[in-house]
Structure 1
Amino acid sequence: MSEQENFVVTPDWLQDNLDTPGVTIIDGSWYLPAQNRDPKAEYDAAHIPGAVFFDHEQVVEPSSKLPHTLPSPEDFARIIGTAGIAADDTIIVYDGPGLFTAPRVWWMLRTFGAKDVRILEGGFDNWKAAGRPVTDELTPVAPCVFHVDPHPERIASFEDMMGIVESGERQIADARPAGRFTGKDPEPREGMRSGHMPGAHSLPALSLARDGKLLPADELKAKIESAGLDLEKPVVTSCGSGITAAVLFLALESLGNKDVKLYDGSWSEWGSRSDTPITTAEA
């Protein structure tokens, strides 16, 4: 049975609950450099009333040389608590197109103990196009304590991935576009080899959504299975820097797979090292 309804809210629901106590809204937008969009500037110009901005470049491990590395539980709790977000809130996350970077925020919050996190169907672009309320007013924030409850079982480390690739104990789902997976297209970041991990399956994140929403459960299941993945077996998701791997995590969990990990270092780590096995063979 699909569990999508447990992870999303409709625009109608959110509009009806903008002023409901305990409902917290996060603008989790982020864009690739080639998209030429500044998420903070767009947030400042217009956002859903009451939303706070989540900066993907700041909610990271400061000592890491990799992009978007997950911060420590303590640092995450401090940053999120300063933004007035509590673990017991009903937290609604959105991004511009709908299912690009919001799932990463959804995954991070749940990994650190948030109880009820949902993604806005359709994203902010559709929200605006429908004429729903937006504002440029600064959202007042009352800092609070985010009671962190880490779930490390949702995270795969580099060492974990080396073992997974060697043993095949867990399926690997790669969210990057097919051209990058096969090595036909170059990586957008310098210093990275092209290709994919041996045994990985190509499952581009953008193929799992339509109009900013996850595909209906039957279509989603068919898409995942056509990539060679078994929904009954453990999976680890990966992408370029750990962002869109969360889209796959969301899709798999929405179809009932509870044994999913996300490789936080993703290709930024794997592809930049000289000691990792890489292939360009179709999988």
Structure 2
Amino acid sequence: MSQLKLPTPLLSIEWLSTHLDHPDVVILDASLDKPKTAEAPSELSGLRIKNARFFDLKNTFVDKDSELPGMMPSAALFSEECRKLGINKHSKIVVYDRLGIYSSPRAWYMFRTMGHEQVAVLDGGLPEWIEAGLPSESREKEPETEAGNFTAEFKPEFIADGQYVLDSLKNNRISVLDARSSGRFTGTAPEPRENLRSGHIPGSFNLPFARVLNEYKMRSREELKEIFKGLGTDNKEVIYSCGSGVTACILLLAAELSGHHSNILYDGSWSEWGLKNDFPIES
């Protein structure tokens, strides 16, 4: 079988259905159970794409020693858990979730941060797949896999911490883009987590993640280019933030698709910034 290469960071269900049984393709279900902003249709809750393996963002691929939710794990832990899933250095990884596009870009960005370029998000995710009548199976069925040889090579330039963001506020060549709702950004809507202040990082811009989506699919490249064109972030390094580093990755994927490549994730996001009283806020 010829060597396979993923053509784009966002793949169609047609592409995946054509390559579903390719030995190098690894399909990962990166769904989050009961995300705070949405719920999957009940008829999808027990299903997964055929041969998919569960990529547990909440309990496994996370820094369990951090006081902040959902932080990036170490390269060593990431490598170990990927090997358990049968992921290899040459694997072509396709990630999806049960909401269409919600948590899967987080998994995509994690692999990119860990040095693996051959990873893509399935546009439309499980809803699009099931609607098209493509092969699925019960989530209770765990595929049998042999241990892989995946090795992470952590790229620190992909991740920002709170101090880096704080220092960047003095640099006019860096912008901060917040994926939270406009209400949370302006402080008129409450934060879903306790003990967090309301408002936003001073000087940051607001782009609610839903704006880059058309229902449960990503908007076209042309639409994304227009959206980012109006933000004034051209020729700047952009730091992406949200509530806990999940929906910011939706914007990171949209930015990549629209041709913006100087992008960094603020992993702690508002879970860190809103918690620390010595970090300034605006509302």
Give your verdict on TM over 0.5: yes
Distance 1:260 1:34 in 2: 24
**SS of residue paired to 1:131:** coil
* Equivalent of 1:82 in 75, 79, 84: 84
- Answer yes or no: is 1:277 the counterpart of 2:263: no
Residue 74 of structure 2 aligns with which residue?
72
- Tell whether the 8 Å contact from 1:81 to 1:145 is kept in structure 2 after alignment: yes
- Answer yes or no: is 1:102 the counterpart of 2:104: yes
**Alignment of structure 1 residues 201-280 onto 2, 5 Å:** 201-226=205-230, 228-280=231-283
Distance 1:68 1:28 in 2: 13
Q: State TM-score, norm by structure 2.
A: 0.91
Gapped regions of structure 2 (runs ≥ 5): 1-5
Distance 2:39 2:176 in 1: 31
Aligned residue identity for 2:145 = V
- Answer yes or no: is 1:151 the counterpart of 2:152: no
Distance 1:256 1:153 in 2: 18
Instruction: Map Cα deviations across residues 75-116 of structure 1 (whole Å, 9 max, x no partner).
Output: 111111111112321100001222211100000011102131
Q: Identical aligned pairs, as a percentage?
A: 36
Distance 1:38 1:73 in 2: 34
**SS of residue paired to 1:47:** strand
Distance 2:7 2:198 in 1: 37
**CA-atom RMSD in angstroms:** 2.0
- Tell whether the 8 Å contact from 1:28 to 1:102 is kept in structure 2 after alignment: yes
- Tell whether the 8 Å contact from 2:86 to 2:146 is kept in structure 1 after alignment: yes
Instruction: Map Cα deviations across residues 108-162 of structure 1 (whole Å, 9 max, x no partner).
Output: 0111021311111111012112221111132112111212111111111111011
Distance 2:37 2:99 in 1: 15
**SS of residue paired to 2:137:** coil
**Alignment of structure 1 residues 2-13 onto 2, 5 Å:** 6-13=8-15
* Structure-2 change in CA distance of 1:93 and 1:86 (3 Å): same
- Tell whether the 8 Å contact from 2:44 to 2:127 is kept in structure 1 after alignment: no
- Tell whether the 8 Å contact from 2:175 to 2:236 is kept in structure 1 after alignment: yes
**Alignment of structure 1 residues 177-196 onto 2, 5 Å:** 177-196=181-200
Instruction: Map Cα deviations across residues 50-93 of structure 1 (whole Å, 9 max, x no partner).
Output: 10011111211111010000011111111111111123211000
- Tell whether the 8 Å contact from 2:44 to 2:126 is kept in structure 1 after alignment: no
Aligned residue identity for 1:191 = N
Aligned-residue offset at 1:268: 0.2
Q: State TM-score, norm by structure 1.
A: 0.91
Residue 127 of structure 1 aligns with which residue?
129
